[in-house]
Chain A
Amino acid sequence: MKWAPPGERSIAALNGPWLLRWSAWSVVALILAGCQGMIMDPAGDPSGPGTGKGNGSTAATAPVELMRRLTRTEYWNTVKDLLGPGATTTQVLPADDQVAGYDNNGQVLGIGPLLLEKYAMAAEELVSSALAVTNPEGRARLLTCDFSGANETPCARQILTSFGRKAWRRALSAEDVDRLMTVVQANRTAGDAFEVALGVGLQAILTSPHFLFRVEEDPALGVLNAHLLNSYELATRLSYFLWSTTPDETLLAAAQAGTLQDAAELERQARRMLADPRSQALVDNFGGQWLRTRQLAQVQPSPQLFPSFSANQLGQAMATETALVFAEVMQADRSMLDLLDADFTYVNAALAAHYGLQGSFDASRFTRVTLPAGGNRRGLLTHAGILTLNSTPTRNSTVKRGKWVLDRLLCQEPPPPPANIPQLPSGPTSGSLRQRMEQHVSNPSCAACHGKMDPIGFALEHFDAIGAWRATDGEYAIDARGTLPDGRSFDGAMELARTLKEDPALPACIVRQLFTYALGRRPEAADEPALAQLTQSFGAKGYRMKELLVQVVLSPTFRMRTAQQEPHP
């Protein structure tokens, strides 16, 4: 199928099994997850808390996609790909805020004055270091033609055209190139050497909204329905989804040839990209945010109580462990549900000691180990990182652990505690943590949600604030039994993992999480049929991550865009 120019694109250009399903889709009611109806908002807000997972008032409208700025991670990956490793800057970009759990959410990827200033300064430093005489690799990459004498102007045009195409992820128009040439020539005329003047043109490319934003144009005025992305826009979505960086030449060429609109070619490209080392970005940026292990860089276990944590750099090791397990499950095409009870993990010497594993391990290199049957550590819930990031600095937290499971694995985050809750007596100051936490559940206004969260946390009571196994809670025996309101009960982490692995909410939640990351927006009511379809095919393909990634890429939602409200005249 040939790429059709904007305006001629239509829904009919979609092929494959998705077409029928898409046309049959209708809006379904959004089922709000959480502890329905039990929490009253004392302020009388009619919507009450807990509507965060979707906004009822927009249930019938098509989701709007916002033009997204590159995230900080995407920006650094991209400039490295464009300019080579020798290009450097002293600029530090602020971290991107998260919405719906991910930092690539369109809602917050705007550009305030501070960011623009930093991008402009970074472009200046990056270009001058890329063209520095001390950086032959960068010069060879950028100065691709002979610019002596009369060759100067055509060579500059050629460089701007070629670099601009890579940086803006689309072919430049003659007008685009003319505009950039004006910049180069003006500075050349003012007395700059050729390379300096050319560098100003390159800076203009890297400071332009065409570079900093992933531009997706809306079609002509008055067209308010969904339309296919053009091939370059699709290539850009694909590349930042799977690689967190700019399209490579192969992908750009497919976009330029228009072949990417063909589902078979799109799938071929997606599979090629998943086999490329750059797909590690999914582990780091999707996995690290889905499972929240990115936050391990910020946890602060008490150095008095847990001296080994900082002494042995356990936080970094914990994050690496989970990333390696995630990567193996994805790359080896195992069921993603195996994350819950995988019989293997990866450890360095410090983590092996933390886990009490016998054998000799390297201080920095991670070794794959098979976990013994009948042991107390198996699967994600027993990864020290997951346990640590859901603890307070001095103790484990049943609430945080329960909330993490509900939110990250089941997409059933309970609503937040209300404001101005009735005064509770401060809990007992003695007894096991479990006994103290059970106070929560004795209060009806707390029970609705804590009744769901706390039992999950109780199952993990054998793990302390940094995820080490403990036989007792100080002087108290550990009771790791829990029962959910629906009657499912378990004793300890292994049984909890088994319960969760059988829960149909788990694969549906993985789909929902990946969808949020792929589209950079929270799923809305209109997306429920697509989510259901993806969940169904995820199951049909053995819950393999790469298959799910391919299905997301092939889905109409990924390949299309809903026009925003009519632009201003």
Chain B
Amino acid sequence: MKKSWELSRRTFLRGAGTLMALPVLEAMAPSMARAQSAGVPAPRRLMAFFVPNGMYPTEWYPTTSGESYTLSPLLTPLAAYKSDFLVLSGLGNKPSHFSPLDVGHVASTSTFLTATPVTEAPLSNGISLDQVAAAQLRQYTRFPSLELGTRSGAAYVLHTNISWGANSTPMPKETRPDLLFDRLFGGTNPSESTQEAENRRRRRLSVLDSVKQDAQRLETKLGRQDQIRMDEYMTGVRELEQRLQQTRVNQCTQGTRPPEPQDIRQQVQLMLDMTVLAFQCDLTRVATFMYGEAVDDSAYNFLTVPNGSGGTLPVSQGHHTLSHDILAGSMSQKMYSAICKWEVEQFAYLLGKMKAVQEPDGTLLDNSAVLFGSGIGESNVHDTLNMPILLAGRGGGKFRPGRHVVYKDPLNFNTEGVPIAKLFVSMLGAVGVNVTRFGQNGDGPLPNLT
């Protein structure tokens, strides 16, 4: 039953490969250069920002809807950008429920952007929102997509990945902003002479040419699953090759290399800075940022809550632990809310950076579709049928932000929200990737976004 499905994904992968053969030169021009050529629309970008362990529902959902809604306590950090984002309440990810594993935290994380049930033996998942977008938008940029995050370590694959390629391949994340900077701007060493750069390019291309032959010969001796793996290898080789063949020099200001971050706060902001820079320089049009991971039990000693007697207490209990101890008004609930609010502040930081970049036809934020949310809603009951979701940006004019849209009562935890996969259909449309379906239950665009 599964085999033909794998085959179709393989075909899909091949299809994506042919798309990238001919770069669109005009579109490759960095946004700075393009700013001078009037009438050409700026590129559209798609991004998803994931947070673990849900959002405290009663402080997350605004109590009023429409344009004149009042920001909820957890949304107050976004006050300056109220006209730049939509609060979408009552969206859910039902396909996550059909996964034969921990649906609450684990499946809701690994299916956050796939809207397809995930299984662990054999490992299978759908292709994620960002990778669907990247398959088409890769033709315009040096990097098809960026998979970014804050954690990388000994952890279970379904805890640590929201971005999934074809063939159920989790896409590893970059977690260091300094290394990301090197990757984005590598090969532009200013002290290197043109001849040296050309020699290096020649050597690299000859390495790739050699290993490509190795892979082609090897593929004929492998079983089917391994051939798919070799196809992935070839895709990577072709991507590198294509990048080496683009001799265009970055025309935007790359700025200075960020330091290796010393704590999580610095790490998040530097990663978001790099993401905005990559968008601004049109090095990619697709990015995911996975803050933390499923069941993340990190402590937040840098946050404090009032202790009730005039002083403060640090948030030293773990995030996941607190998310299950949310009796209204309790100290643990206040600590949980403080973490949620801090996460929203990081999103506000991103929006501020994106809004500050002027493009010919609006700001970078206007030209983007940026998702913020968690796979889980009310964390103590493991509600994944109602998710806390924001959509920022105008998607190049496809969305009308500044509203709270309620699709279904999100506080009725055990009834299913409108499929979030429909939002993904709409987001893809906004960046010019026209699909009619997404995942298991995205059977069309989400209404009421304009």
Q: Which of A's residues lie within 8 Å of B, judged by CB?
A: 41-43, 45, 47-52, 54-55, 58, 64, 66-67, 90, 92, 94-95, 97-100, 103, 107-108, 110-117, 120-121, 123-124, 179-180, 182-183, 186-187, 190-192, 196, 200, 203-204, 207-210, 212-213, 215, 217-218, 289, 294-295, 297-298, 300, 302-305, 392-395, 416-424, 426-427, 429, 522, 563-568
Contact = CB atoms under 8 A, between A and B. Distances in A.
Contact of A207 (B123, B165, B211): B211
Nearest to A99: B157
B128 interface: no
Contacts of A565: 3, 223-225
B73 interface: no
Contact of A116 (B170, B209, B237, B327): B237
Given A304-B301, A419-B383, A187 B206 contact: yes
Contacts of B123: 99, 107-108
Given A49-B103, A419-B382, A95 B202 contact: no
A420 B383 contact: yes
Given A92-B176, A113-B144, A218 B221 contact: yes
Contacts of B175: 94
B106 to A, nearest CB: 7
Contact of A186 (B97, B155, B206, B327): B206
Q: Which 5 A-B residue pairings sit nearest by Cβ, starting from the closest?
A: A564-B223, A416-B102, A116-B236, A419-B103, A97-B157
A112 B222 contact: no
Contacts of B100: 45, 47-52
B382 A417 contact: yes
A302 B301 contact: yes
Contacts of A64: 223, 225
A278 B156 CA distance: 27
Contacts, number: 271
16 contacts: A49-B103, A55-B119, A66-B229, A94-B174, A103-B154, A116-B233, A180-B210, A204-B207, A217-B222, A302-B317, A303-B301, A394-B299, A419-B96, A420-B413, A427-B325, A429-B327
Contacts of A196: 203
Contacts of B183: 117
Nearest to B101: A52
A90 B414 CA distance: 50
B240 interface: yes
B222 A522 contact: no
B16 to A, nearest CB: 11
A42 B94 CA distance: 12
A334 to B, nearest CB: 27
B404 to A, nearest CB: 24
A5 to B, nearest CB: 14
B327 A52 contact: no
- Most chain B CB inside 10 Å of its own CB: which residue of A47, A64, A90, A393: A393
B10 to A, nearest CB: 9
A297 B153 contact: yes
- Most chain B CB inside 10 Å of its own CB: which residue of A66, A112, A566: A112
A50 B101 CA distance: 6
A47 B327 CA distance: 33
Contact of A393 (B207, B227, B299): B299
B74 to A, nearest CB: 20
Nearest to B223: A564
B207 A424 contact: no
B219 to A, nearest CB: 8
B207 A114 contact: no
A217 B230 CA distance: 13
A213 B106 CA distance: 29
A100 B153 CA distance: 15
Contacts of B155: 95, 97-98
B381 interface: yes
Given A49-B100, A393-B297, A429-B327, A424 B152 contact: no
Interface in B406-435: 413-414
Nearest to B104: A419
Contacts of A393: 297, 299, 316-318, 321
Contact of A110 (B232, B299, B384): B232
Given A98-B154, A115-B236, A420 B384 contact: yes
B214 interface: yes
A200 B203 contact: yes
A508 to B, nearest CB: 19
Interface string B280-323: 00000000000000000111010000000000001011100100
A117 B240 contact: yes
A183 B218 contact: no
Contacts of B330: 426, 429
Contacts of A103: 154
A213 B102 CA distance: 31
B246 interface: no
B154 A295 contact: yes
Contacts of A204: 206-207, 210-211
- Most chain A CB inside 10 Å of its own CB: which residue of B153, B174, B204, B383: B153
A49 B101 contact: yes
- Most chain B CB inside 10 Å of its own CB: which residue of A55, A103, A190, A419: A419
Interface in B226-255: 226-227, 229-230, 232-233, 235-237, 239-240
B195 to A, nearest CB: 10
B381 A112 contact: no
A400 B382 CA distance: 18
A209 B233 contact: yes
A98 B175 CA distance: 17
Nearest to B156: A98
B222 A54 contact: no
B161 A97 contact: yes
Contacts of A191: 199
Given A52-B120, A183-B207, A304-B301, A114 B215 contact: no
B382 A66 contact: no
A418 B96 CA distance: 12
B58 interface: no
Interface in B147-183: 147, 152-157, 160-161, 165, 167, 169-176, 179, 182-183
Given A54-B121, A210-B214, A416 B174 contact: no
Contacts of A114: 147, 171-172, 174
B213 interface: yes
Nearest to B238: A113
A549 to B, nearest CB: 22
B240 A116 contact: yes
A112 B169 contact: yes
Contacts of A50: 100
B278 interface: no
Contacts of A420: 381-385, 413-414
Contacts of B103: 41, 43, 49, 416, 418-419
Contacts of A180: 210
Contacts of B182: 90
B318 A98 contact: no
Contacts of B317: 302, 392-395
- Most chain A CB inside 10 Å of its own CB: which residue of B172, B204, B380: B172
Contacts of B325: 426-427
Contacts of B191: none
Nearest to B214: A208
B232 A111 contact: yes
A269 to B, nearest CB: 26
B279 to A, nearest CB: 18
Contact of A112 (B157, B176, B236, B414): B236
Contacts of A564: 222-226
A120 B238 CA distance: 13
A82 to B, nearest CB: 17
A469 B156 CA distance: 31
B98 interface: yes
Contacts of A187: 202-203, 206
Nearest to A203: B207
Given A304-B316, A393-B297, 4 more contacts: A192-B203, A392-B318, A419-B108, A426-B330
